Amino acid sequence: MSQEDLGSLIKRFRFVRVLDSNPQTKVLSLLGTIDSKDAIVTAEKTHFIFDETVRRPSQDVSDPRPIFYHCENEYSCINGIEDLKELTSNDIYYWGLSVIKQSMDYNPTAKLNLIWPATSVHIKKYEQQNFHLIKETPEIYKKIVKPYIDEMAEGGRLKWVNNILYEGGEAERVVYKDYKEDKIEESFIILPDMKWDGLSVDSLYLVALVYRTDIRSIRDIKPEHKEWLIKLNNKIKSIIPGCYNYAINPDELRIFIHYQPSYYHFHIHIVNIKHPGLGNGIAAGKAILLEDVIESLNYLGPEGFMTKTMTYVLGENHDLWGRGLDKETAKQLEEDGIPKTPTIVNGFAFNH
């Protein structure tokens, strides 16, 4: 069955409810249906577009970085303002609202993502929820997390990854591919993450997918992988600037992995370091810099991260929370002598 195009699917989208609206990341997540099957649409306001990046010699002539932008296009910078309403002013400060001219090629309004058919796991991921700090010991990993990862690997959840690696899926979006059949453990592919609109380097967001399958998360990384990670890290820093006409430098790339990750096939996130609008995706308790992973391998034993207690943030909608991490977290707090948070009913606190 051939895959339908986004436009025809969106036209059949029937709204059910709002899953989340994030004022920081400017992302709206909607739940609906398409042909009676659950669908999730996320709309993200795009980054402001400059007309073009221009090279100009800086005071240090050995520094070739682009250091200013032209705003000559009718859609870029203040040229695109069509209407303006002042809200208030005070001394030298002014606030207002504006309508900016839109164009699909130069200044699109928002980036849309669609998941269809969406599973209950997808819906929980995008729905607003409470978060908790998890202290995952090696024992908790073996008892609760590893069985979950094994189920995810067996459930066909990685079909889209295999499509990219082996079936030519999203081939038109691939930024870089290093594939050697006789060196599969060193092979990887880089392409834009769904969170990037692909237009502004200021909001650059790429993901590197490795071909090896023996590493599903940071838990599987051992000292024997150190040299491989160093080579991979250095290669990413070497090739990405050239892919974007050197509008970004190697030391302007934030290279990290997630724990828990969204999917259990080892991948690396590559983001412009000036891009803050990623919410919890780059926060402590989620993102771990690849350099720190490599450095930690100097101090961990032969089993690597498998013997380390990992502390991270997890939402209540994640399946792992209801599979036992909720009880383990409560147990740890009690063992540490931290009192339970009372339940508030009609203004009165109750411990139970």
User: Per-residue pLDDT tens for 147-202?
Assistant: 999 988 776 788 889 999 999 888 888 999 999 988 999 999 999 998 887 778 88
Does 179 count as an annotated binding residue?
Answer: no
Tokens of 228: 């491989």
Share the mean pLDDT of the chain: 86
In this predicted model, which residue has the larger pLDDT, 333 or 106?
A: 333
Whether 320 and 145 have beta carbons less than 8 Å apart is answered as: yes
CA distance 302 to 320: 27
Q: Which uninterrupted H or E stretch holds 236?
A: helix 226-243
Q: Where are the domains of the chain?
A: 6-110, 129-328
Distances (CA, A) of 119 to 9, 30, 78, 97, 311: 17, 14, 42, 39, 27
Per-residue pLDDT for 97 more than 60? Answer: yes
> pTM (2 decimals)?
0.75
pLDDT in tens, 47-89: 776 555 443 444 444 444 444 445 566 776 677 888 888 888 7
Residue 348: its pLDDT value, please? Answer: 61
Say what the pLDDT of residue 4 is: 83
139 belongs to an annotated ligand binding site: no
Give me the pLDDT at residue 26, please: 81
Q: Please name the fold of domain 129-328.
A: HIT family, subunit A (3.30.428)
pLDDT above 80: residue 25: no
Nearest Cα to Cα of residue 210 among 178, 174, 173: 178
Distance between CA atoms of 194 and 60, rounded to whole angstroms?
A: 37
352 a catalytic residue: no
Catalytic entry in 267, 275, 318, 352: 267
Strands (E), 124-180: 131-136, 176-178
- Residue 46: φ, ψ to 5°: -80, 160
Phi, psi for 71 (deg, rounded to 5): -130, 60
pLDDT of residue 156: 74
Is 188 assigned to a binding site?
A: no
In CATH terms, 6-110 corresponds, of 3.30.200.40, 3.40.50.12140, 3.30.1330.40, 3.30.70.1090, to 3.30.200.40
Q: Are 270 and 291 in contact (CB under 8 A)?
A: no
- 299 class by beta-carbon count within 10 Å (0-12 exposed, 13-18 middle, 19+ buried): exposed
Query: CA gyration radius for the chain?
Result: 23
Q: Is 261 annotated as a binding residue?
A: yes
Tell me the mean pLDDT in the region 90-115.
Answer: 83
Task: List, for residues 164-176, the tens digit of each pLDDT value.
Answer: 999 988 888 899 9
